[in-house]
Amino acid sequence: MRAQAASLLVLLALGGPTLAEDTEDAWLILERFRESLELQSPFSAHFLQSFTPEGFSSAETEGGTMSMSLPECLRWDYDEPFPKSFILCGDVFHYWNPGDPKGHREEIEAREQPGLDLLLLGTADLRERYSIAASVRLAESIEIVLLPLEENEYASSATLLLDSDGERLLELRYVDPDGNRTTFAISDYRAGLDSGTFNPPLDVIFEED
């Protein structure tokens, strides 16, 4: 929380960004963003994930390709040196390591998961879970900071960095209650997906978790 507030104060001190007039402006931006995500589906993009433990300045990073067909399906394929894949369609979650004969399958309440809910839920539902702490418009992006209305073990704050049109997600950042910071930087959007993208591989035996 302190880190997010400090970053916003620094941005404002630089004189570039301006605060949105009120939180309703930010909710309208988020609503248009969610509509745009579904209109653009299906698509893929490159992601770079970084994790910075509380008290550390350096981050652990890994990346790969993410695929979306909202409002139902998401897929993440991580690159070397530790390749792994995840598919979520509805509430069914498959994950496996390429080359391994076995993977895992489980059912989760995807829309209840902080982070996933920002991609899967409409703004009417998000309003019941989050408040908007700040909205900052930069020269080439829009930053919106959300705070959960109820405490949870996953996130104490979440930040969406959108492009200047509010149509594409550039970064998703969240801080967990212990102060650990996770960032997904997203780039190189590509329209369309191969058929079967969201089908788990047939040569992998999936065990129920």
CB 67 within 8 A of CB 74: yes
Q: Per-residue confidence at 17, pLDDT binned at 50, 70, 90?
A: very low
pLDDT tens-digit map of 100-112? 999 999 999 988 8
The confidence band for 81, taking pLDDT boundaries of 50, 70 and 90, is: confident
Of how many residues is the chain composed? Answer: 209
**Residue 42 neighbours by CB distance under 10 Å:** 16
Which architecture characterizes domain 2-208 according to CATH?
Clam (2.50)
Beta strands in 59-101 (DSSP E): 60-69, 73-78, 84-89, 92-96
Token pair 């801080």 in the structure block, residue: 175
What phi, psi does 56 have (nearest 5°)?
A: -110, 150
Each residue of 113-172: pLDDT tens digit? 878 898 899 999 999 999 999 888 888 999 999 999 998 888 899 999 999 999 999 999
Quickly state the pLDDT bin for 23 (edges 50, 70, 90): confident
205 sits in which H/E element: strand 205-208
